[in-house]
Amino acid sequence: MLNLWMRTSALISLLVVVVMLGFLLQQSWPYWQHDGLNPLLSGDWYPYEHLFGLAAAIIGSFWAALIALAIAIPTGLAAAVMSTEILPGPWRSLMRSGMELLAGIPSVVYGLLGLWILLPLLQSNLHLLTGHNLLAAGLLLSVMVLPTIMVMTQDALCEVSSHQRDTAASLGMGWSARLWRVLLPQAWPGIRSGILLALGRALGETMAVMLVVGSMDRIPDPWYNLLAPAQTLTSRIGREIGESAFGSMHFSALMACGLLLALITITISMLAHIRSDKISVNRP
Amino acid sequence: MNTKKKITAIAAAAPQQVAAHDAGDISLHASRLSLALEGKNILRDISFSLPAQGINVLIGPSGAGKSTLLRCLNMLHTQWQGDLQIMGRDVRKWPDSEDGLRRTIGLIAQKPTLFPCSIQQNIVFGLSRKDRNHMPENRIKKVLKQAALWDEVKNRLHDQAATLSVGQQQRLCIARALMLSPNMLLLDEPTASLDPRSRQFIEASLLELSENMPVLCVTHDIEQAKRLGGKIIFMCDGRLIESGDSKLFFKHPNRIESREFLRWSVCDCS
Ligand SMILES: Nc1ncnc2c1ncn2[C@@H]1O[C@H](COP(=O)(O)OP(=O)(O)O)[C@@H](O)[C@H]1O
Ligand SMILES: [Mg+2]
């Protein structure tokens, strides 16, 4: 009975994914038909001139996620190690509940905080015309994905058995050797899942990013210029879907953005669930 | 008045045989070790010493505090009271900290615990990076022979350690501890869940190792204690009840708790 129920629900969720992808594909079909995969390489997005290049938004999405992870991975790992391995019990649970609180705050609130605090700070400190840019989006996202990385790392570290810890200590390994050669390698599968989930969240986050990214369709120029207003896939859909006529090419192009996002995030979460059978740990 | 105080002090210390031996032929000297965990007294006033070589068997019913005592000796528990000298030095003032102390003491836990990597990588796991990468083959061979494991693994040093049987894993743990050239070896019920063949191997290699360093082997198995011989330390309910020559202990146990334990393998001190 339970078995049947589990199978049915697994089947249903699979079906939902397939139906959703099918719907996105169907709605964006006119767009793909019009120009094939060429728009993936073009940065020009001018709906009124029927130019719908996706490159600027794709690059923007990846930049924002990359900045977020570059900050959140070291910070999250350090916070998790600190709280599970160093801090005494009460502090540990305090830090953990703090992180869980952070994870529970609606993203629009983050967006507003970014708008009021982060943007003016960036603008005045970096002498910019506007603080709306990819760096702002990345910084904001790094705070939003930090709890995911930290909580998953904490859980993974807690799963390393006391036998392993005691054995490493009995061999006279110092604290840093135990951390780098026993704790982190053995916790790695869990940490990796946390990072991939965080990446998925960073790519998929809409509201907060939309409020701070600037929503200008320009490929960063030069490629590392993160201080100019830019666009992400999510912010484009969020901002423009209301003004596009159902069935128009504009609408179809936005659906194509949605399809891309769905494909990317599904791939990432599938990667997060694959755990290598052979946990190879020792990297000498 | 002053003399009287002195005499009382000596009288109090006398049963503990404080500093009765030279540091020269004593590798470890514990006096009045006590430990309370979570408000419970686990060890009470334990005093004993290990000579510079030979086998010592720490025996007692389960829950006596044997494992806890071993963990105190290499500072996995640090909250104990009392005095502990190893190689004539106070362990609390060890020059290169607890890590250095632990390299001096090879402690082998009851549950064989290997790291998820190859047999060879496990053997050198405790060494510095430089030593791990440049460890001569014959050093590895030597410790594996000492641990009576060489013949079984010589052709598969690069296999995953987890592919070994539990008995082989325990011997690998011994080899790994020996790799650090410890000055003594402490083993917590090393054969508790092993097949008879591995047990024989381990007992034989412990006897051989004890010719060069003190070996302290914990067991709750009376037969094993008889086989190993040497010196015996009998513990029950966190107390050291009786210690001395193994043959004498089994022939003429002095204390009623010892007789009870030898007869029933349990004893109700508490
Ligand atoms: N970390 C701990 N906290 C509290 N009590 C402990 C702890 N470790 C061991 N004990 C208690 O100490 C006693 C002795 O345990 P142990 O040293 O494992 O005995 P043995 O090895 O002789 O079987 C047991 O009653 C056990 O419950
Ligand atoms: Mg025990």
3-state SS of A155-176 is: HHHHCCCHHHHHHHHHCCCCHH
B171 in a domain, yes or no? yes
Q: What is the pTM of this model?
A: 0.84
CATH of domain A59-282: 1.10.3720.10
Q: Which of A136-150, A268-282, B15-29 has the lowest mean pLDDT?
A: B15-29
Instruction: Return the pLDDT at B24.
Output: 57
pLDDT at A48: 85
Could you give the maximum distance between any two Cα atoms of chain B, in Å? Answer: 73
Angle between helices B137-146 and B196-209 (to 10 degrees): 110
Q: Mean pLDDT, chain B, as a whole number?
A: 88
User: Do the domain assignments include residue B269?
Assistant: no
Comparing CA positions, the residue from B77, B212, B215, B223 lying closest to residue B142 is B212
pLDDT in tens, B181-197: 999 999 999 998 889 99
- Lowest average pLDDT, out of A133-147, A184-198, B22-36, B196-210, goes to B22-36
* Residue B235 clears pLDDT 70, i.e. is over it: yes
pLDDT of residue A254: 94
Q: Are A125 and A53 in contact (CB under 8 A)?
A: no
pLDDT of residue A277: 40
Evaluate whether residue B34 is within a structural domain: yes
Amino acid at B112: P
Mean pLDDT of chain A: 90
Reported confidence tier of residue B60, pLDDT bands at 50, 70, 90: very high
Query: Measured between beta carbons, which residues in chain A are less than 8 angstroms from residue B109?
Result: 163, 166-167, 170
Cα(B186) to centroid of ligand 1, in Å?
A: 17
Q: Is the pLDDT of residue B227 over 50?
A: yes
pLDDT given for residue A26 in this prediction: 94
> Is A164 in contact with B113 (Cβ distance < 8 A)?
yes
Per-residue model confidence (pLDDT) at position B270: 59
Q: Is B270 a domain residue? A: no
A9 alpha carbon – ligand 2 mean position (Å): 47
Say whether the peptide bond before residue A74 is cis (omega within 30 degrees of 0).
Answer: no
User: Residue B105: which domain range?
Assistant: 3-264
pLDDT tens, residue by residue, B62-100: 899 999 999 999 999 999 999 999 998 999 988 888 999
B136: domain CATH number is: 3.40.50.300
What is the percentage of chain A residues whose pLDDT exceeds 70?
96
CB contact at 8 A, A282 and B116: yes
**A117-139 mean pLDDT:** 91
pLDDT in tens, A1-14: 788 999 999 999 99
Mean pLDDT within A98-124: 92
Q: Is the model's pLDDT at A266 over the cut of 60?
A: yes
Ligand number nearest to the C-alpha of B36: 1
- Sign of the CA dihedral running B22, B24, B26, B30: positive
CB atoms under 10 Å from CB of A210, counted, come to 22
Residue A130, pLDDT score: 86
Nearest to A181 by CA among B181, B108, B124, B100: B124
Query: Contact B115/A172, CB-based, under 8 Å?
Result: no
Q: Which residues of A touch B74 (CB under 8 A)?
A: 170
Contact criterion met (CB < 8 Å) for B115 and A280 = no
Q: Which pLDDT band, with edges at 50, 70 and 90, does A275 fall under? A: low
What pLDDT, on the 0 to 100 scale, is given for residue A279? Answer: 46
Distance B110 CA to ligand 2 centre (A): 7
- Of the partner residues B116, B121, B180, the one whose CB lies closest to the CB of residue A284: B121
- Closest of A218, A223, A229, A232 to residue A261, by C-alpha: A232
Total of domains in chain B: 1
How much is the average pLDDT of A91-111? 90
- Is B221 part of any domain? yes
B8 belongs to a structural domain: yes
Pocket test for ligand 1, best of B35, B42, B110 (most atoms within 8 A of CB): B42
Do the Cβ atoms of A65 and A141 come closer than 8 Å?
yes
What are the pLDDT digits (tens) for A144-173? 999 999 999 999 999 999 999 999 999 999
Per-residue tokens: B190: 């090393």
Task: Return the HEC string of chain B.
Answer: CHHHHHHHHHHHHHHHCCCCCCCCCEEEEEEEEEEEECCEEEEEEEEEEEECCEEEEEECCCCCCHHHHHHHHCCCCCCCEEEEEECCEEHHHCCCHHHHHHHHEEEECCCCCCCCCEHHHHHCCCCCHHHHHCCCHHHHHHHHHHCCCHHHHCCCCCCEHHHCCHHHHHHHHHHHHHCCCCCEEEEECCCCCCCHHHHHHHHHHHHHHCCCCEEEEEECCHHHHHHHCCEEEEEECCEEEEEEEHHHHHHCCCCHHHHHHHHHCCCCCC
Q: How confident is the model at residue A281 (pLDDT cuts 50, 70, 90)?
A: very low
Banded model confidence at residue A225, pLDDT cuts 50, 70, 90: confident
Q: Given CB atoms, is B113 within the 8 Å cutoff of chain A?
A: yes
What percent of chain B lies above the pLDDT cut of 90?
71
Which pLDDT score is estimated for B20?
41
Is pLDDT at B268 greater than 80 in this prediction? no
Model confidence at B13, pLDDT cuts 50, 70, 90, reads very low
Atom of ligand 1 nearest to the CA of B69: 17
| B250 domain residue, yes or no | yes
Percent of chain B with pLDDT over 70: 90
* Candidate from A141-155, A230-244, B2-16 with smallest mean pLDDT: B2-16
What does residue B161 show for φ and ψ, rounded to 5 degrees?
Answer: -65, -30
pLDDT tens digits, one per residue of A164-210: 999 999 999 999 999 999 999 999 999 999 999 999 999 999 999 99
What per-residue confidence (pLDDT) applies to B15? 40
Kindly give, in sequence order, each residue whose CB lies less than 8 Å from that of residue A92, ignoring residues fewer than 6 positions away: A83, A84
A283 has a pLDDT exceeding 70: no
pLDDT at position B11, please?
41
> How distant is the Cα of A190 from the closest Cα of chain B, in angstroms?
16
Chains A and B form CB pairs within 8 A to the count of 62
Provide residues with CB under 6 Å of ligand 1: B 37-38, 40, 42, 60, 62-68
Residue-level pLDDT at B243: 93
Backbone phi, psi, residue A218, to 5°: -135, 135
- Answer yes or no: is B218 within a domain: yes
- Res. A140: pLDDT tops 80: yes
Q: What is the pLDDT of residue B23?
A: 46
